[in-house]
Amino acid sequence: MATTLTSAPAVTTTASSSESFQRYYEEAGPDYAAWSPNFNMHFGFFRCGMNPFDREYMLEQMNVEVLRHLNLTTESPSILDMGCGLGATLRSLARQLPTASLHGITLVPWQLEQGRLFNESSPGAAQIVLTLGDYQHTDYASESFDAVYAIESSCYAAGANKSAFLQEAHRLLRPGGRIVVADGFLGPGTLRGPQKSICRTLCDCWAIDTLGQIGPFTCELDRLGFRDIVVEQMQARVTPSVLHVPWVTLKFLLTSVVFGRRKMTRARWNNVLAPILLPFVGYPLGPMAYYLVSATRA
Ligand SMILES: C[S@@+](CC[C@H](N)C(=O)[O-])C[C@H]1O[C@@H](n2cnc3c(N)ncnc32)[C@H](O)[C@@H]1O
């Protein structure tokens, strides 16, 4: 996939606009092609009966699972992807919801440009609108969405309870609207000894300021007036796709670095290192785990 520079305006925000965040996604972003040709920039969802070797299928199932939790009731819903990457999930939704109005917001200009290019060759292109901006402070009108979701993007929001992110989601949702968040959080338990510094290094590698904590996150949902809050620990569901990491990393290093002779920057090495560190702080060795949280705006 070609990397092109963009003329889109820079965005200023609080937590996630740090230089390292932009550098990470600009330099390492294209490398996600090694993980998913469709740029599903997340882990996969596995259930018995699926082929655990078919990574792209499991990544696609994560999109399906998020959609299922949205519990949509209207025929032509308006949906926002908060931290949409290149829009892979929105293109997946477009295939299943041909009359939905689909929006995505990302903080990375490169993702916006490449996402729009992907959309041009996708059947649901006319339904999808991608925007550059900070999901914590958007320009969308209040109560303009039936559903919002965030897949592995809420981790970049400010604070352990992701308050600014949740407040904006609450403002954007109509009463009765749904929020679904799929992401890594610190769960019950504590980081012990070297796990603390491993976790800090892991976050630095992925340019995350403050990892979310599932307890404070759900308390904040409750405080804001969300109801029907359901928290599902999905570590076992994502593990089969996580197990693809060593193989994908080896293949990437051989094809891109050893034989492809592409220049490796620090951000690109960080993207190689982060998933390797994950098992040392992740469940069952550590308190970090993958959660799917859903709730309804009162
Ligand atoms: C790991 S990617 C996941 C992308 C997408 N959800 C997917 O699953 O393919 C994280 C995404 O969060 C976005 N993001 C992080 N902080 C953001 C913010 N403050 N506002 C908007 N997008 C943000 C990044 O731009 C990136 O697109």
Task: State the pTM of this model.
Answer: 0.92
Q: How far is CA 79 from the centre of its chain?
A: 16
Q: Rounded to an integer, what distance in angstroms lies between the CA atom of residue 273 and that of residue 201?
A: 9
Q: Is the CB of 267 under 6 A from ligand 1?
A: no
SS3 of 95, please?
helix
State yes or no: pLDDT of 134 exceeds 80. Answer: yes
Return the pLDDT at 205. Answer: 93
State yes or no: pLDDT of 162 exceeds 60. Answer: yes
pLDDT tens per residue across span 45-59 = 999 999 999 999 999
How is residue 71 annotated by DSSP? -
Residue 260: pLDDT band with limits 50, 70, 90: confident
Return the pLDDT at 262. Answer: 74
Return the pLDDT at 20. Answer: 87
Average pLDDT estimate for 139-156: 98
Q: How far is the CA of 212 from the centre of ligand 1 (A)?
A: 14
For ligand 1, atom 9: residue with the closest CA: 41
State yes or no: pLDDT of 16 exceeds 60. Answer: no
Residue 257: pLDDT band with limits 50, 70, 90: confident
Average pLDDT estimate for 12-36: 79
SS3 of 159, please?
coil
Return the pLDDT at 4. Answer: 28
Q: How far is the CA of 85 from the centre of ligand 1 (A)?
A: 5
User: Of all atoms in ligand 1, which is nearest to the CA of residue 150?
Assistant: 6
Q: How far is CA 123 from the centre of its chain?
A: 23
Q: Rounded to an integer, what distance in angstroms lies between the CA atom of residue 99 and that of residue 75?
A: 7
Q: How far is the CA of 106 from the centre of ligand 1 (A)?
A: 6
Q: Is the CB of 104 under 6 A from ligand 1?
A: no
Return the pLDDT at 259. Answer: 82
pLDDT tens per residue across span 174-204 = 999 999 999 999 999 999 999 999 999 999 9
CB-based contacts of 151: which residues, under 8 Å, 6+ apart? 42, 62, 63, 66, 81, 83, 89, 182, 183
State yes or no: pLDDT of 117 exceeds 90. Answer: yes
pLDDT tens per residue across span 72-96 = 999 999 999 999 999 999 999 999 9
Residue 13: pLDDT band with limits 50, 70, 90: very low
Q: Which CATH architecture has domain 19-188+210-239+289-297?
A: 3-Layer(aba) Sandwich (3.40)
For ligand 1, atom 23: residue with the closest CA: 83
C-alpha separations of 114 from 97, 109, 117, 190 in Å:
23, 9, 5, 39
Return the pLDDT at 15. Answer: 44
Burial class (CB in 10 A: 0-12, 13-18, 19+), 260: exposed
Q: Is the CB of 134 under 6 A from ligand 1?
A: yes
Q: Is the CB of 106 under 6 A from ligand 1?
A: yes
SS3 of 177, please?
strand
